[in-house]
Amino acid sequence: MNDEVLCNALRYEKWGEAADRIEELIEQLEAARADAKEAEAYAEELEAKLTKTEEDAARWLQAFSAQSRKLQAVLHIDGVKEALAELKGARNE
């Protein structure tokens, strides 16, 4: 085998190694893209759950605030505070 043939054979071998490496990198890139899509979908799912939780919390806060206002109004009715104090006293005895 002469030097030129040997050089050409080595070049083809290196090209083959480079092609194999490029193929590996392409596979890794495709896997990374698939992982990114999956992560994005999961993030969207979590964002939707967070939005629903925030909406639920706002509704509960509104409901509790309304209930609290009603209770405060009841406490201002004549005799209610005294009746509650009597009930508390009866429980403590």
- Return mean pLDDT, the chain: 87
Does residue 93 surpass a pLDDT of 60? Answer: no
Does residue 92 surpass a pLDDT of 70? Answer: no
pLDDT computed for residue 32 by the predictor: 97
Decide: helix, strand or coil at residue 78: coil
Mean pLDDT of 15-25: 85
The helix or strand, by DSSP H or E, that contains position 31, with its residue range, turns out to be helix 3-75
- Band the pLDDT of 72: cuts 50, 70, 90: confident
34-64 confidence digits (pLDDT tens): 999 999 999 999 999 999 999 999 999 999 9
